[in-house]
Amino acid sequence: MATIDANLPKGTALLAQPRLNRDAAFTPAERETLGLAGLLPHAVFTIDQQETLETEHLAAKSDPLEKYVGLIALLERNETLFYRVLAHNLEALAPIIYTPTVGLACQQYSHIFRRPHGLYLTPDDAGQMVERLCNVAEAEVRLIVVTDNERILGLGDQGVGGMAIPVGKLILYAAGAGIHPRHCLPVSLDVGTDNPALLEDPFYLGFRAPRLRGEAYDAVVAEFVAAVKKVFPRAILQWEDFKKGNAFRLLEQYRGEVRSFNDDIQGTAAIALAGILSGLRITGESLAQQRILFVGAGGAGVGIGGLIRAELLAQGVSEADARRKLLFFDSDGVLVAGRPIKDPYKSPFVLGAADAAAIGVHADLDLLGLVQAFRPTVLIGTSGQPGVFDAAVLAQMAANCARPIVLPLSNPTSKAECTPAAALTHSDGRALVATGSPFAPVQIGERKFAIGQCNNVFIFPGLGLGLLLSEAERVPDSLFLAAAHAVAEFTQAQHAGEETLYPRIAELRAVSQHVARAVARAAAQAGVAQAVAESELEERAAAWHWLPAYGPLPR
């Protein structure tokens, strides 16, 4: 024990360090050497015993938000044990630490706050962001998830409470891809809020001012990106929960300047495409044979459409044919020429008059009329309008083809365009269904259908790991195509015959490893990373793979 790092904190200072603390797992010899003798109860537990106790504590809590608070308290006390519990119970705990429960945590953030996580930047930090990033204790930051808190899940502007999203995403990077937490940094660009309830809350922790807009907002983002490039030049930057206009604009503005991607746009697109590819592996059809209708043309819907079009083009479909296979319907109706389009990012998906005439659609059609005229084989919902896929729409989908693919992706469960039970009931059990939120299996007659979850968690941890393995200089769209194919391949290999479109959350580590290797190979093929032999790729993957266990103390 005498060789333990002399600079290691001792006594209560050590117990206050969640990355070093082991609670009752410190051995008698460690307790003597580290000034812990008498500061802990007599018994020495193994990490397995501690894990059992922590799962008992969680099981005793019935309220999801209380479970969230309990888990974060464990993270703030004993980081290794937290990740051990999470990694071994991902199926049950991922919905607590992330969607849907994290939405409640965002709403209650100022009232459940105990200890800070990551970096909080406000307009008052202008001109000093390099110094602020230098205040981060970790020198090995390789993954940054940043939000401006304006479009948190389906909840809108949550002010500083949006920080729970980057924290949750990076927890899933560590638990689901094995990336050590020391490489991860959550960031909140707290540029104010337009949420009156927050501004009126006397306990609100954020920057108490109306949300920054225009050039002043852009200046904050620009200084932040410049500071990241200077302080953490090897870091990957993930944009998270920015309002759709800013999300598209910032992605395009900075993707050539820094290794960055937007999970809401590109990650959602990749996981949706993965589900479609999984469905087509079941039906034996090609993507080129499909007609795809999107209900909802926000950031998620347009992002999915863009990646599906990229996949069609990669498969040799012409631009003209690809354009006629994708149709969008939003709150103002069908995206066709002649209809006013307020949002520039929708413009690439406005169907021209000739194309609209060729496929028999026009601006006056309602959703059912559109499903009858266009005869889609794939129906994707990102509208946040519960029940918009009603019995008539679903029955018409079933009439269009033998195995319609129905993806009601809006979160949370209450906003889903239809329930899996409705999709299966009105298609006589023929629909291939996956949802954005978790749903229980559905019983139709004597058949029981497992409902896959179209969850970005199957994409972003593996994508981030693949970028780290390959040291990719940029993040082109082809890497998201590779990730989508990898998830579909994994699903088919592990769940052949089950007719599920996605893996299980419990398989996340294995999925992420498979995705990471595919992304690393695709980065080399795209010319944004050096090609390496498979043996070296495996060595890199092993070097990055962290398992939460008590190892030797720093020497």
Q: Give the span between the Cα atoms of 64 and 41, in whole angstroms.
A: 30
Residues 82, 47: contact at Cβ < 8 Å?
no
Residue of 67, 169, 325, 346 marked catalytic: 169
Helix (H, G, I), strand (E, B) or coil at 238: strand
DSSP H/E element including 536: helix 534-544
Helix (H, G, I), strand (E, B) or coil at 189: strand
In the annotation, is 169 catalytic?
A: yes
Enumerate the β-bridge partners of residue 187: 119, 146
- Report the candidate in 135, 140, 158 with the shortest Cα–Cα distance to residue 148: 158
Give, as one character, the DSSP assignment of residue 435: E
Q: Give the span between the Cα atoms of 363 and 370, in whole angstroms.
A: 9
Q: Give the span between the Cα atoms of 294 and 234, in whole angstroms.
A: 37
Question: What amino acid occupies position 447?
Answer: R
* Residue 119 burial (CB count, 10 A): 22
* Residue 437 burial (CB count, 10 A): 20
DSSP output for 304-324: HHHHHHHHHHHTT--HHHHHH
* Strand order through the sheet with 143-147: 119-121, 184-189, 143-147, 236-239, 260-262
CA 474 to chain centre: 19
Give, as one character, the DSSP assignment of residue 264: I
DSSP H/E element including 398: helix 391-400
- Report the candidate in 314, 321, 320 with the shortest Cα–Cα distance to residue 289: 321
In the annotation, is 254 catalytic?
A: no
- Largest Cα–Cα separation, the chain: 82
Helix (H, G, I), strand (E, B) or coil at 417: coil
Question: What amino acid occupies position 525?
Answer: Q
- Report the candidate in 420, 364, 422, 413 with the shortest Cα–Cα distance to residue 393: 422
Residues 308, 273: contact at Cβ < 8 Å?
yes
Tokens of 489: 């391949």
Q: Which residues of 474-511 are buried (b: 16+ CB within 10 A; e: fewer)?
A: bbbbbbbbbbbbbbbbbbbeebeeebbbbbbbebbbeb
Residue of 83, 98, 109, 120 marked catalytic: 98
Instruction: Return the active site residues.
Output: 98, 169
